[in-house]
Amino acid sequence: MDVTSGAAVATLLFDLFDSEKPTVSSENANEKTEQHGSCAPLRILDLCCAPGIKLCMLADLSPPSSTLVGVDISPHRISLCKNIIKKYHIEGNTSASAPKSTNNDGATTDTDEKSNVIQPRVTIRLYCADGTTFGTNQTTTSTNTVKPDLVFDNNAAVEDFISSGGKRKRMNKSARAREKRRLLELQRSEASVGTNNTESVDDHTSNLHYESLSAEKREAICRSNEKEKLNEEDDIGSDPEYDFDRVIVDAECSTDGAMRHNGKRPSALPSKACPTWNDTNMDELIDLQKRLIDSGFRLLKRGGVMVYSTCSLSSKQNEEVVQWLLEKCQDAFIIPVSFLIHKKSSDDLPFIEEGSIPGTVRFNPVLNSKSLLVQGSGFFLAKIGKMNSIH
């Protein structure tokens, strides 16, 4: 995984790179640390999760007892993601993150010596579903609501791995049926359990942004709040199962910035593994990106944080998609981020520059520079906040 992709995960989980951090009074410092710091469990959505490397990094860095949900529309890619999660977060022999003692935060992440399996510190779930409609009403009849298929749960996978004596084995038809029934039971139980009320963006930041808006935009937000209240009973998005503190949308893109990876790819790949995007279907791709970012923002809690990213250098796939969301959703706002350390200029770090939307970041490809310690592919990211309800 490129360091630029890792930057998207770090930007999502931490405010380390935020350009503007709200001040916290001393009497509320402990409360804020507990609410927004590493101790508070989070619900995190990776809307385009395959092949799963970012999801693994999210699992490593998320607070204990968090829930991570990965979504991908392709059965082929979600199967790859499932195998990677098993390799790096379940099987002790292949995991580089299997510690031999309990972490300072008290999370249980030890490897079970008998079964050689990593005991989960977070819950990881995978859904094979369309990210553009994930969490919305999809009914076959007036009384039958269809939910996306849960295809993997790491807690269930750990139990299966332990029962097999810590050995991989090919699942037969009956074993696959048992797994499907178990995942269905887990999915039903998840929907009946409420989630924590943790807010991911400081209220002060959200309210300050609201105060700076014009009267017209304030009125639009109030209309949006009223509309949400009217639709709560009809929208699966109000279900705790589809309500997230953090969302990352590393959208499908033309990959023109991923020069290092593109050089390693074979000339022809199966379409199911890597769709080909070019000038003939670029409008279709951009429409997909808009629907993905819109879906991610819909699934984001009020006060939550979303990162939109691509490995493209095209402004049409980056800033224009973000600007489209900002204009469509009046409660969306940019949280400015910067990776320029110690106020260095872009001349000192030529592979980092601000996007055309202030506060967004572009990483330019660096392939053969001996003067830089960090090299990576072209990448774009924007950190987007969702304002709290205004009463």
Inter-axis angle of helices 75-89 and 53-61, nearest 10:
40
By three-state DSSP, how is residue 139 classified? strand
Active site residue 311: yes
88, 89, 92, 97 alpha-carbon torsion, rounded to 10°: 70
By three-state DSSP, how is residue 111 classified? strand
Q: Which of 49, 56, 81, 311 is catalytic?
A: 311
Whose structure tokens read 């202030």? 358
Reference 309, options 352, 350, 269, 360; nearest CA is 360
Bridging pattern class, strands 117-118 and 111-112: antiparallel
CA atoms of 322 and 319, how far apart (whole Å): 5
Residue 336 neighbours by CB distance under 10 Å: 17
Whose structure tokens read 């930057």? 7
The separation between CA 84 and the C-alpha centre of its own chain, rounded to angstroms, equals 17
Any binding-site annotation on 203?
A: no
- DSSP state, residue 148: P
Q: List residues forming the annotated binding site for S-adenosyl-L-methionine.
A: 250
Active-site positions? 311
Q: List residues forming the annotated binding site.
A: 250
